Amino acid sequence: MIWETISAARDLGRLHEIATVLIRYGFGDMVRRLGMSGALERAGRVLHWKDVHAMATLAPPERVARMMEELGPTFVKLGQLLSTRVDLFPSDWIAAFEKLQDQVPPVPFEQLRAQLTADLGAPPEEVFPRLETEAFAAASMAQVHRAWLADGTAVVLKILRPGIVETIDADLRLLARLADIAESSIAEIKPYRPVEVVRQFSLSLRRELDLEGECRHAERIASNLLEYPFIVIPRVYWRWTTQRINVQEFMDGIRGRDLAAIDAAGLDRKVLAQRGTRAVLKMVLIDGFFHADPHLGNVICLPDSRLAFIDFGMVGRLSTVRREQMVDLVYALIMKDATGVVDTVIEWVGDRPVNEEALLIEVDAFLDHYHGLTLKELDFAGLLSDLAAIIREHQLVLPSDLALLFKALISLDGVGRRLDPHFNIVDEATPFLRRVMRARFQPGLLFKRGVRTGLRTLSLLSSLPQDIRGFIKSMRRGGVQIKIDVGRLDHFGHQIDRALSRLTVGIITAALIIGTSIISATSNAPSVWGMPPLGFIGFIASTVSGIWLLLSIWRGRKD
């Protein structure tokens, strides 16, 4: 029962609130299966049950998205993270999660004043001679105010909402418990690996709560993009930056979503698309550290068709091995090499069971769909989406870093096409793919890899005699065990055990009935309700065991 797992009494109210919203959106069965029956009954009385399924007429993706919006910032952020999991959800779910709005009314500035004074070390008016108390923008975790330094430099203050850390911590505790229960008790949810998704989400969200860390991300990306003078990253003013507030240069330009204003300013949309794509591809394929949310809302267009990237709360990281695997995959997709695609996917999913033959047949058919198309005609985003659908159908799960990358590349392609209808991401990616391929086979790198492999081999060979000796000793002591884990045999064993238990209870019940009848017929002892005491006890025992046997058989038929 979920109530027994709650360690902090303060979480119970929030748990009841979550159960109430789930029921109102038509997920009462899920609430029951999660063990929240008490909350179910109370919420049913509050909602009068006739309106409980009013929201159930909506399509499931829209219903879940609306439910997340109502549950608050933690669940909105969860939905936004799930929008990156193209390997777990089909396109209609991804589209619903993408619509989740992280925009809420701002907190009055007076409620921020005490926190700001503590973080800045002085009242905000003393640090910033001019400060707008009306929020420039507001989201669920933080809000932005414009200000000016003593030298007249325009800056933005990103400020965490008071109490947001405690609220999110409580929600994350509940999410972790609910995910654990859901994965173990609801078969339909288990393939989505909710425990792992919540774990990754918790790590990501706690990073976003660190505004100082966000500034470190910005400076790292700025350093990596120095060779691109047309890309601008806002300057960080570290003197006033802490975990709860960051102060950055104000970017005075046109938001990427405002295409009419971009055209009116005479900016070249084709150039903007090319420059933004090249910057993101360099982050991904060369640096392995990238802005994970490259939508037009996080881009500001500046004079001379320059671009400024903002909001580095969500970043992705790719190791050298991952980048090489991604290059192998892209190359195999472009060359329509089904075996190469399957080999890379199998490397990604690790030790999860894979029907390699069936996967190869599907991938080959999917690539054949693009037969005869030139690189310029190839829809790369569609290609990645179709591959993600195949991975999803085989119940394979991508590592979280790759799921984020898939989403970033698909979003990047959409941004490029919106700015320039003739945009083709393959054309922009080709020089980077060649650069990575050349780098992989440089003599210096090949030599280093050879030395590293040789050292590992020597280390393995040197420890081999000791390992063999230890293995033989374990065999002599009887310490070597072979474990075979066959799930179906386990289930069969449980069924046999249950059947034997029922048979035993049935035999005992029959014996009690016969014994009770003999005692009742032969005993002259004082009676209880017309039966000897021993006979009465035997009658009660046989009745209870018979009822238990009937209930066990009935439950077994349901299972």
Report d(CA 16, CA 38) in Å as an integer: 9
Task: Please state the φ and ψ torsions of residue 188, each to the nearest 5 degrees.
Answer: -65, -25
**Catalytic position from the list 119, 171, 210, 293:** 293
The token pair that represents 70 in the structure block: 């109502």
Report d(CA 411, CA 83) in Å as an integer: 11
Is residue 287 part of the annotated active site? The answer reads no
Q: What is the dihedral of CA 391, 394, 400, 403, to 10 degrees?
A: 20
Q: Are 46 and 20 in contact (CB under 8 A)?
A: yes
**Element containing residue 299 per DSSP (H, E):** strand 299-302
Residue with tokens 């790292």: 220
State the CB neighbour count (10 A cutoff) for residue 289: 16
Report d(CA 231, CA 305) in Å as an integer: 10
**Element containing residue 158 per DSSP (H, E):** strand 154-160
Going through 202-276 in order, the beta strands assigned E by DSSP cover 231-232, 245-249, 254-255
The token pair that represents 210 in the structure block: 């660190």
Q: Are 408 and 280 in contact (CB under 8 A)?
A: yes
Residue with tokens 């933005």: 156
Write b or e for each residue in 78-91: b if 16 or more Cβ atoms lie within 10 A of its Cβ, otherwise e. bbbbbbbbbbbbee
Q: Are 293 and 414 in contact (CB under 8 A)?
A: no
**Element containing residue 290 per DSSP (H, E):** strand 289-291
Helix (H, G, I), strand (E, B) or coil at 210: coil
Among left, alpha and beta (phi > 0; psi -120 to 50; other), residue 305 is left
Q: N- to C-terminal Cα distance for the chain? A: 19
Report d(CA 114, CA 543) in Å as an integer: 70
Known catalytic residues? Answer: 293
